[in-house]
Amino acid sequence: DALNLYIKNKKTGLIILKKETPALKYSWELLEILRIKLNSEEFKNYISPNAQIGRNAVINGNVFIGDNVTIGENAVINGPCFIGDNCKIGVNCVFRGPVNLEKDVLTGSFTELKNCIVQEGTHFHSGYFGDSIIGKNCRFGAGFITANRRIDRGNIKSMVKGNKIDTGLTYFGTIVGENTRFGIHSGTMPGVLIGSDCIIGPGTLVFENIEDNTNFFTEFKGTKKQFST
């Protein structure tokens, strides 16, 4: 609407582009922009001379590795991937591009990232992160899992301002704001949006959007019985 109003009131021209032009109305559409960007001719292989690549690590396809990056033993990086300065990739990690890691990201051993955007300063202990966008300075406890596909393989829907939006995607994990923390063995269902400055408790599976500045915990009830003698 804003663009239409501008066109009505201003002189505008028309440019016909030969390259693909993705939409950017919803935040998950950044993943498509990432795919186009990292598969473009402008994105080239580069490994900084001071990066440390562990024994038996495998790097395939177009991969940019910035300054002071450490990649652990037996890690597998399948491009296209961008790994920013000072990132630390743990032992036996798997990246399936397109993946974009900004500077100072840490992925603990056995972390898997597939089609993700991760902003600076975020730390992952371990787990699976698929088709997701993660904000700055987040913390993920061990064993975190993103469900990124519906069990019936249908399109994933996401709630935006009270409306259920069909994303048109059959693979979509989660979008997480800045400074949000997750306890161990937590996870998200497909299409869940989580705000900034949240705390998600250990063992919690998130089925719904979580607003900024929210603590979200699942209640557990323990049962303890002594064996009869």
Residue 17 belongs to a domain: no
As given in the structure block, the two tokens for residue 213 are: 């500045």
pLDDT higher than 80, residue 15: no
Q: Considering the chain, what percentage of its residues have pLDDT values greater than 90?
A: 84
Confidence (pLDDT) at 16: 66
Let me know if residue 8 belongs to a domain.
no
- For 150-205, the pLDDT digits (tens) are 999 999 999 999 999 999 999 999 999 999 999 999 999 999 999 999 999 999 99
Q: 162 CB contacts (<8 Å, ≥6 apart)?
A: none
Q: What is the pLDDT of residue 1?
A: 63
Q: Which among 212, 202, 168 is positioned nearest to 22, based on CA atoms?
A: 168
Does 185 reside within a domain?
yes
pLDDT for 209 beyond 90: yes
- Specify the CATH number for the domain of residue 164: 2.160.10.10
What does the mean pLDDT of the chain come to?
Answer: 94
Measured torsion, CA atoms of residues 98, 101, 106, 112, in degrees rounded to the nearest 10: -10
Mean pLDDT of all residues in 142-149: 98
Q: Of 216, 203, 220, which Cα lies nearest the Cα of 176?
A: 216
Confidence band, pLDDT 50/70/90 cuts, at residue 20:
low
Which residues have CB under 8 Å from 148's CB, separation 6+?
114, 130, 131, 132, 171, 172, 173, 190
Residues 6 or more apart from 24 whose CB is under 8 A from it?
30, 33
State which residues form the domain around 90: 26-216
Question: pLDDT at residue 45 above 90?
Answer: yes
Query: Does residue 226 surpass a pLDDT of 90?
Result: no
Answer whether 32's CB lies under 8 Å from 115's CB. no
Number of domains in the chain: 1
Domain annotation covers residue 12: no
Q: What percent of the chain has pLDDT over 70?
A: 95
Q: Is the pTM of this model over 0.75?
A: yes
Give tens-digit pLDDT for 54-97: 999 999 999 999 999 999 999 999 999 999 999 999 999 999 99
Please report whether residue 167 resides in a domain.
yes
pLDDT value, residue 18: 67
